[in-house]
Structure 1
Amino acid sequence: MRKVYVVTHPEATHHVDRVVGGWFDSRLTAAGTRAAAAIAESLRARIPGDTDVQVYSSDLLRTAQTAEAVGEALRVAPIFDARLREKSYGEAGGRPQEWLDRRFVPPPAVGERLRHDEGITGAETKMALAQRIYAAMREILDSPCEHQVIVTHGFAMTFVVAAWIGMPIESADYVAFRAPSGSITVLTEDDFFHNREVSILGDARHLEAVPAT
């Protein structure tokens, strides 16, 4: 049975500084570093020690730090892929969240949502984000490895899961999978029917014992 563990990176400096993340290269906070260790320990307990495992990660610092903790626990070198990055918010990246909030143009309830212009210079559309994550997922899932870890970001995770279940990109204009920072989502494919399921969405129980300060 194939299992893919999708990790959303834990607390990073852009969270506590209340600035826009996206491609802004924030790093894990002290609390985030402790959470990354808890994530790694949880994955080591979930994944049999005698099986092959691969760890893929966004190349941004906060995800790379998380993936390195996971890789050390699982004794495997992470593979970094820029296509697993969070959505780019263009010129808003690293600016105060309130700066983005004042300028952001939300998508319409009905109509073109994937290619919608959010009003921020240089920002990716939802379509551009989906296309690069789907491309990365095609290559990841081409591997025969039965246990894979993907370390990514909160919004990007939606499209990791959508690609897993085979949702056509053009049908992904309303999709959203919510998971807290530092959580683990478990995706499973059976060996007989090859059906793919979202077995666990956003499990954060491993963070309960992590001190906040």
Structure 2
Amino acid sequence: MRNLYVVTHPEADHHVRKLVGGWYDSALTDRGIVAAQRIAADLGERIPRRETALLFSSDLRRTRQTADPIGQRLGLSVHQDRNLREQTYGIADGTPAGSTPYLPPPPHGDRMHHWDGNAGSEMRFQLAGRAYTALHRMLAAGAQDTVAVTHGGTATYLVAAWIGLPLEAAGYVKFQISPGSITHLREDDVFHDRQVVSLNDTAHL
């Protein structure tokens, strides 16, 4: 069996201050730091064969603060990957939510290439493309157990890539992913079927 654990960072400063996250480099709150320790403890129970495991993380501060206790618990180095970052909302990053204009994607048509109107923001196609690239790189490393510490929006596309949803067809996909959650994905070594064992698990919190 091959397992991938997709971890989303827990409560961060921008959550509390009601700021747009994106690439705004916010830190975990005190509550988030406690949650990160609980995530690490949970993964310590799930991953007994640590010598065959790998740990990847977005390079933003809130995800690095989540990945560090996991690395300490499992005895693993953290491999930072910018492709695991959240979607950037350009000039809206770090601003009060709702304070900049926002154009939502259309109900029909090319939702993947929709632009929200904020200078420097990514289209969904760009975010999803980064997530798909990150997944392929992680799987190519060949670990039996892999942990990916990322953000809620990016997690959706990691799951989509895992189940083989074509990038161009991902315009409507959206999974409910909470801060501090663990999503367990598994591939069996006989048929190579890919399972979603658990989605958005927060019982450890």
- Shorter chain as normaliser: what TM range? over 0.9
- Pair 1:151-2:149 in alignment: yes
Sequence identity of aligned pairs in percent? 48
1:144-165: CA deviations, max 9, x gaps?
2110000000111011111111
Aligned residue number for residue 19 of structure 2:
19
Q: Which whole-Å CA distance do the structure 2 matches of 1:137 and 1:50 have between them?
A: 20
CA distance 1:5–1:74, shift in 2 (3 Å) = same
- Alpha-carbon deviation of 1:49? 4.0
- Alpha-carbon deviation of 1:98? 2.1
Q: Which whole-Å CA distance do the structure 1 matches of 2:156 and 2:166 have between them?
A: 13
Paired AA for residue 54 in structure 1: L
Q: Contact 2:10 / 2:180 at 8 angstroms: preserved in 1? A: yes
Query: Structure 2-normalised TM-score?
Result: 0.98
Q: Which whole-Å CA distance do the structure 2 matches of 1:92 and 1:180 have between them?
A: 22
Q: Which whole-Å CA distance do the structure 2 matches of 1:25 and 1:50 have between them?
A: 30
Alignment of 1:98-177 (within 5 A): 98-100=98-100, 103-177=101-175
Paired AA for residue 115 in structure 2: D
Aligned alpha-carbon RMSD (Å): 0.9
Q: Which whole-Å CA distance do the structure 1 matches of 2:49 and 2:141 have between them?
A: 19
Aligned residue number for residue 74 of structure 2:
74
1:176-205: CA deviations, max 9, x gaps?
111210010000000110000111001100
Q: 2:186 aligned to 179, 185, 188, which one? A: 188
Q: Which consecutive residues of structure 2, in runs of 5 or more, have no partner in the other structure?
A: none
CA distance 1:110–1:33, shift in 2 (3 Å) = same
Aligned residue number for residue 6 of structure 1:
6
Q: Secondary structure at the match of 1:130?
A: helix
Q: When the two structures are aligned, how many residues end up with a matched partner?
A: 205
Q: Which consecutive residues of structure 1, in runs of 5 or more, have no partner in the other structure?
A: 208-213
1:109-131: CA deviations, max 9, x gaps?
11110000111111000001111
Aligned residue number for residue 61 of structure 2:
61
